[in-house]
């Protein structure tokens, strides 16, 4: 519409050109509820990509909590009030007992940055090992461990010397494929950990998502993570699980992504879902690790763990639990995955469907033998889907994966709507 085009001009005139906006002719979204969006012309869309508003857009209880707390008081976490303790206790109830300390921040990038300060303070080492195709944030340190070229084409050239990488253990299209791939990738990673140690740069920190969001909900191949954690710890390092995208019940089966791999991390980072769109992030770790940082200095964030954020955080956990949203993600997500797999029987462009629950990646390929990526087709498909009333977007270094990460309140009807439109667009 004219409105949307005018707005686009104003935006490009006033706002730095560092973020791509979605679509060549983006609609001007005005409001939303649950998994639905409405633009200024009254057109409706199903939102398949919003992994922040987990309870759904415009959630009335979050809005009521926010309004109530704003009116009473909003202040920082140096003041003594119940909300910080309450949210921290609630978070600790989701993890094993050995993880016993919470720190509250405002975003995923901050959580990752703080996690790196913690692991460096505790291990006494600077060097970090991460996987290729990762995204962990935009701050100096979280950006340094983000190896994805889709967000940062120059990632490889600008990477500081303390960041080391091993290949994302992708059993679909990586160096090792199929059954046994995880063990083979683990052997490569363990050899690299030992090599780095011999070279005088022993790893202090391992960081990865248990299922890589940026690459398209690609699981770390089965059998990979446990031997890697063991090798990192044997060499004196500690392990971060970045749960900013994958955590908070999104996979349905597990509240946290690391649970799938039978490991317990030393540090967990989280954000996105926590505030249902209100800025809120956290790090969970062990007291001794937090103490190592406390011995060197302090940590304080003006708004991290504010009264407002903490109360919103507790409300979000209440609603996830009360409304069974993790279970909804499991059931509706399984239906979604099997329906898309059924489409794959008729549409050869669908190479595979990655992921679990409401954390899926539909990978599009030109040839199922060579796995040649189909980025142009993916972009065209997303444009067509928008016309058909669905917001779905490409992701990954090859831009050939449709990211499917809708609010956790996603209904079966909306899944069926999405699948029917996908069928039409693929046709």
Interacting residues with ligand PMP (CB under 6 A): 107-109, 112, 135-137, 209, 213, 242, 244-245, 271
DSSP code of residue 278: B
* In the complex, residue closest to ligand PMP by CB: 108
- To the nearest whole angstrom, how small is the minimum distance from the Cβ of residue 20 to ligand PMP? 14
- To the nearest whole angstrom, how small is the minimum distance from the Cβ of residue 167 to ligand PMP? 18
Residue 16, classified by CB atoms within 10 Å of its CB into exposed (0-12), middle (13-18) or buried (19+), is exposed
C-alpha distances in angstroms, 153 versus 216, 296, 426?
Answer: 17, 35, 29
Beta carbon nearer to ligand PMP, 120 or 211 = 211
- To the nearest whole angstrom, how small is the minimum distance from the Cβ of residue 135 to ligand PMP? 5
Beta carbon nearer to ligand PMP, 203 or 271 = 271
- To the nearest whole angstrom, how small is the minimum distance from the Cβ of residue 213 to ligand PMP? 5
- The H helix count followed by the E strand count for the chain is 13, 17
d(CA 396, CA 214): 5
- To the nearest whole angstrom, how small is the minimum distance from the Cβ of residue 18 to ligand PMP? 13
Beta carbon nearer to ligand PMP, 137 or 373 = 137
Between the two ends of the chain, the Cα-to-Cα distance in Å is: 27
Confirm if 146 and 128 have CB atoms less than 8 A apart. no
In the three-class reduction of DSSP (H, G, I as helix; E, B as strand; rest coil), residue 218 is classed as strand
- To the nearest whole angstrom, how small is the minimum distance from the Cβ of residue 51 to ligand PMP? 8
Beta carbon nearer to ligand PMP, 69 or 106 = 106
- To the nearest whole angstrom, how small is the minimum distance from the Cβ of residue 106 to ligand PMP? 8
Beta carbon nearer to ligand PMP, 155 or 190 = 155
Beta carbon nearer to ligand PMP, 46 or 271 = 271
Beta carbon nearer to ligand PMP, 52 or 349 = 52
Beta carbon nearer to ligand PMP, 176 or 272 = 272
Confirm if 381 and 409 have CB atoms less than 8 A apart. no
Confirm if 49 and 390 have CB atoms less than 8 A apart. no
Burial 113-128 (b: 16+ CB within 10 A, else e): bbbbbbbbbbbebbbb
- To the nearest whole angstrom, how small is the minimum distance from the Cβ of residue 208 to ligand PMP? 9
Residue 288, classified by CB atoms within 10 Å of its CB into exposed (0-12), middle (13-18) or buried (19+), is exposed
Tell the residue number behind the tokens 């690790």, with chain if given.
289
d(CA 206, CA 348): 37
Beta carbon nearer to ligand PMP, 216 or 235 = 216
Backbone angles phi, psi at 351, to 5 degrees: -80, -50
Confirm if 315 and 309 have CB atoms less than 8 A apart. no
Token pair for residue 265? Answer: 């991390």
- To the nearest whole angstrom, how small is the minimum distance from the Cβ of residue 189 to ligand PMP? 19
d(CA 219, CA 281): 23
Element (H, E) at 329: helix 325-346
**193 DSSP β-pair partners:** none
């Amino acid at each position: 519409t004219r409105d949307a085009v005018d707005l686009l001009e104003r935006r490009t005139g006033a706002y730095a050109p560092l973020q791509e906006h979605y679509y060549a002719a983006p609609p001007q979204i005005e409001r939303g509820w649950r998994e639905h969006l409405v633009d200024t012309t009254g057109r409706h869309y199903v939102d398949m990509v919003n992994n922040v508003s987990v309870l759904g857009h415009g959630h009335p209880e979050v809005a009521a909590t926010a309004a109530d707390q704003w009116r009473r008081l909003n202040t920082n976490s140096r003041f003594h009030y119940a909300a910080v303790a309450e949210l921290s206790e609630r978070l600790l109830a989701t993890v094993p007992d050995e993880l016993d300390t919470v720190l509250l921040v405002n975003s995923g990038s901050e959580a990752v940055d703080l996690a790196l300060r913690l692991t460096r303070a505790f291990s006494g080492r600077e060097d970090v090992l991460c996987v290729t195709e990762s995204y962990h944030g935009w701050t100096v340190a979280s950006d340094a461990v983000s190896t994805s070229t889709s967000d940062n084409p120059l990632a490889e050239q600008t990477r500081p010397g303390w960041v080391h990488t091993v290949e994302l253990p992708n059993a679909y299209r990586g160096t090792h494929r199929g059954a046994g791939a995880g063990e083979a990738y683990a052997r490569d990673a363990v050899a690299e950990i030992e090599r780095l140690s011999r070279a005088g740069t022993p790893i202090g920190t391992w960081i990865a998502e248990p299922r890589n969001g940026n690459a398209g909900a690609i699981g770390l191949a089965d059998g990979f993570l446990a031997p890697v954690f063991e090798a990192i710890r044997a060499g004196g390092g500690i392990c971060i699980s970045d749960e900013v995208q994958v955590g908070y019940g999104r996979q349905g089966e597990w509240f946290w992504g690391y649970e799938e791999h039978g490991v317990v991390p030393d540090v967990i980072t989280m954000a996105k879902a926590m505030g249902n769109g209100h800025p809120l992030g956290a790090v969970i770790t062990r007291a001794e690790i937090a103490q190592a940082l406390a011995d060197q200095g302090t940590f304080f964030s003006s708004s991290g763990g504010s009264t407002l954020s903490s109360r919103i955080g507790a409300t979000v956990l209440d609603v996830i639990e009360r409304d069974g949203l993790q279970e909804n993600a499991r059931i509706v997500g399984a239906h979604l995955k099997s329906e898309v797999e059924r489409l794959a029987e008729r549409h050869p462009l669908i190479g595979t469907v990655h992921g679990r629950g409401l954390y899926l990646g539909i990978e599009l390929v030109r040839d199922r033998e060579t796995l040649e990526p189909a980025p142009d087709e993916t972009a065209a498909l997303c444009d067509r889907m928008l016309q058909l009333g669905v917001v779905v977007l490409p992701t990954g270094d090859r831009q050939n994966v449709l990211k499917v990460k809708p609010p956790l309140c996603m209904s079966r009807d909306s899944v069926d709507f999405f699948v029917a439109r996908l069928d039409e667009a693929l046709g």
